[in-house]
Amino acid sequence: MQRGGDYAIQRLLTVTKGISVSYPYGDMLRRQMHANVSKFPDRRADPDGLKHAAVALTIVDSDHGAAFLLTRRASKLRAHSGQFALPGGRVEPGETSVQAALREMHEEVGVELGEEAVLGLLDDYPTRSGYRITPVVVWAGSTVTPKADPGEVARIHVVPLAQLARDDTPEFASIPESDRPLIRLNIANAKVHAPTAAVIYQFREVVIFGRNARVDHLEQPVWAWK
């Protein structure tokens, strides 16, 4: 991957307990991830009253092993401007979740892949703002070069899986407005909140660690409820 312009890809060094670690990118990891997500009984949310969206959890190669793509939304967008997000958007009429996630990934970060790159789906996450998000796990291969669409994406972060796997990456808290636990992730030199944090956390638990974890009970910050 190469740097370029104001929308340079941010490569993040991961250190766990003082030791640099990584998940080597290759067919062994792809097979393990595919096995983990294939045995996971993913759940679809009740569609009643919710707009359907899909996001791509795109696994790429990096200087620090396998990583995934995370974006910072452009500041001029009408909704959720400046927030961290996974490539994705509305599922259009006649589209499947997979088709929508792949289309949005191509439009937002310039990575064009076919359905053969999809490893599987994770649970729908219903948001406070009226969406149900279907996460699509995608293996991008080692030769892709993401390029941000400046109208939608201010920056692309390439986040090593090793950083996501650290014990101190996920944080849980309580807020007076809800009896559900709030989740945030310490990645991309920032705190990433739900819904993006909830989707990425399930990716961590299911796809990386092979655990059977649900996340629809995890809360968003109040500022993301609209």
How many residues appear in the chain?
226
Per-residue pLDDT tens over the stretch 78-102: 555 568 999 999 999 999 999 999 9
* Collapsed DSSP state (helix, strand, coil) of residue 21: coil
> What pLDDT does residue 75 have?
56
> What pLDDT does residue 77 have?
52
Q: Which helix (H) or strand (E) holds 66?
A: none
> What pLDDT does residue 225 have?
83
Q: In terms of Cα–Cα distance, which of 115, 129, 166, 127 is closest to 45?
A: 127
Q: Which residue has the tokens 């997979």?
A: 98
Which one is predicted more confidently, 184 or 22?
184
> What pLDDT does residue 142 have?
83
Per-residue pLDDT tens over the stretch 99-125: 999 999 999 999 999 999 999 999 999
| Mean pLDDT, rounded, for 184-201 | 96
Q: Which helix (H) or strand (E) holds 155?
A: strand 153-160
| Mean pLDDT, rounded, for 209-222 | 96
Expressed in percent and rounded to 5, the helix, strand and coil fractions of the chain are 25, 30, 45
Q: What is the pTM of this model?
A: 0.89
Q: In terms of Cα–Cα distance, which of 6, 9, 13, 30 is closest to 145?
A: 9
| C-alpha to C-alpha distance for 119 and 226, rounded to whole angstroms | 32
- % of the chain surpassing 70 pLDDT: 87
224 — pLDDT class (breaks 50, 70, 90): confident
> What pLDDT does residue 15 have?
39
> What pLDDT does residue 152 have?
86
> What pLDDT does residue 178 have?
96
pLDDT at 6 over 70: no
What's the burial of 122, exposed, middle or buried (CB within 10 Å: 0-12/13-18/19+)? Answer: buried
- The structural domains of the chain, ordered by start, are 5-166 (3.90.79.10)
Q: Where are the alpha helices (DSSP H) in 73-133?
A: 97-109
CA 44 to chain centre: 17
Q: In terms of Cα–Cα distance, which of 7, 11, 6, 36 is closest to 187?
A: 11
